[in-house]
Every structure is written in C-alpha cells, then in structure tokens.
Amino acid sequence: MPGRVAVLLVLVLLLFAGCGAFGGAERQTVTPVPVPEQSQDGRANPAVTGDTVDARELAAAHRRATRNRSYVLGIRLSLEWGTQIVSFVVEDGDNYEYRTEIVGQNYTKRVYNNGNRRYVYDERAEGAWTATRRPIPVSGVLDPDPARLIEAYLATNVSVERPRDDCDTCSVTLTATEPPPAFEPADNYSVRATVRPDGLVQSLTVSYWDRSRNSLVSYEIRYSAVGETTVSRPTWVRKHWGNATDSDPELSDSQRHAAVG
C-alpha cells in the first residue's frame, strides 16, 4: 500500500503542477502550412496496432508529432480545490504565448516568449511585470506535459475504435473504463482520446471519482490549428511596455514608465 500511495502522489503532482484549459491566450494569425497526416515512414502510428495500445509508445509518438510544430493547446483540470485553465498558442519551440488562470481565485499569469526575451505578468509575483533576456523554450513551461498524462491515463485496458477497417489515414478513438493501478481506488473511470495517424493525440478527456480524496477529477486537453499557427507580440505586452524592444535592457515594473516614455 505505501508503494501504491507514493506512485499515485507522483502522478497527481504531475497534474497539479500547472494544468488548465481553453481560451485565454490572445488569438494569433493563422497561416496554413502543409500538415503531415502520417508518420515519417508512411505507416499508421505504431503505438496503436489492431486492438492494442502501447501507452508509452503513444506518448513518445505524441512528443515527436508536436516537436517544432505550431498549434493551439487548451488544458483544463478540475479537482477539489477548484479549476485551473491554461491556453498555449505555439509557433515553434521558442515562440509562444500562454495564459494560466485559477478560476475564482483572482490568479492569472501571462507569458510571451519570442526566443530573444521573455515577458511575464504574474499576479502573485512580487514584481508582477517582468521582461528578461532569459527566454525559456515551450518544453520548459508545458506543465503538465500532455505526453506524460497520455502515458499515465492510458496505461490500462483500452478499446480502439476505427472509422473503417485498414484506414491508415484516419484518426482512431481510444476509450478506457478501468483505472490503471496507480489511480486506484477510483470509481466511474472514463478516458477518451482521439489519435491522429502521425501519433498526435488531438484530444484527451478524463473523468473519475477519487475515493482517496472523496472528489471528482476532471481533466481535458485539446489541440487545434496544428501546423497553422503563428505568434505575434500580444496586445498586453504592447500596452505595458510601449515601444520597448527586445534589445532594450531588462525591464521590470519599476522601469515601465521610462520604457513607455
């Protein structure tokens, strides 16, 4: 029992670290570009073979499918303490914007990263507005990592639904109703995922009653505009820092007026 509790705690902490969902980050320009529909070797995603799903391989395929790709991502997590919402607008690994919010707790954080500078507004930070020359790639702020959640939640008996037989270019739907051992005791466990042929998990929804916490856990991720998203300097950055450029010295809230002037 202590071992199981330890594993569960680690997985739950992954969820707590920074989940959220839909809307929030400023909508960006959409520029269509070719989007591959199959894995690089031309075959359907090898993580889903017949009626068998390899959750670890699916997580790896998802990482490959989203690496250096543009997309819009919404994440939502609801637990006994409330609901957290996160939205990502990503052009590539170094150019992105995200917004996170804890509903009903007056907490919002915004980040714009363009590879040269990182602009942050954080209501809970002592210096709410900061602009540093220490940009962080999107992989460093994508927390929780959707791939880890895919691997954790689908590590159980999974049913595979295909639109028709032998369709290597069609998305498949995965469903599960039995919780993985690490999430027990859990009631009414329900997972549903849509997987593209290139391995990208376009959507994942999870819901179950956690008996150890006596609360409902609800979680969702959703990708859209894959390969069709660009990111530009958002309005909140332009309003706060005025004409300040990425080459200016580091800016803080105390330097705002000089920058705007």
Residues 6+ apart with CB under 8 A from 230: 28, 29, 30, 31, 70, 91
Look at the block and give the residue holding tokens 């002037």.
Answer: 261
Torsion, CA 156, CA 157, CA 158, CA 159, rounded to 10:
-170
Neighbours of 236 (CB within 10 A): 16
Considering all CA atoms of the chain, what is the largest pairwise distance in Å, rounded to the nearest integer? 64
- Greater confidence (46 vs 56) lies with 56
Residue 21 has pLDDT above 60, yes or no: no
State mean pLDDT over 138-150. Answer: 89
Which conformational region is residue 198 in: left (phi greater than 0), alpha (psi within -120 to 50 degrees), or beta?
alpha
pLDDT band for position 54 (cuts 50, 70, 90): very high
- Residues 84-125 have pLDDT tens digits of 999 999 999 999 999 999 988 878 999 999 988 899 998 876
Neighbours of 215 (CB within 10 A): 13
**Helix (H) or strand (E) segment spanning residue 189:** strand 186-195
pLDDT band for position 82 (cuts 50, 70, 90): confident
The per-residue pLDDT for 170 is: 86
**Lowest mean pLDDT segment, chosen from 8-22, 84-98, 117-131, 185-199:** 8-22
- Residues 206-249 have pLDDT tens digits of 999 999 889 999 989 999 999 999 999 999 998 888 877 777 76
Tokens standing for 158?
């999974």
Mean pLDDT for all residues in the chain? 79
Instruction: Read off φ and ψ for residue 64, nearest 5 degrees.
Output: -65, -40
Residues 6+ apart with CB under 8 A from 66: 200, 223
User: Would the pTM of this model clear 0.85, i.e. be above it?
Assistant: no
The per-residue pLDDT for 29 is: 42
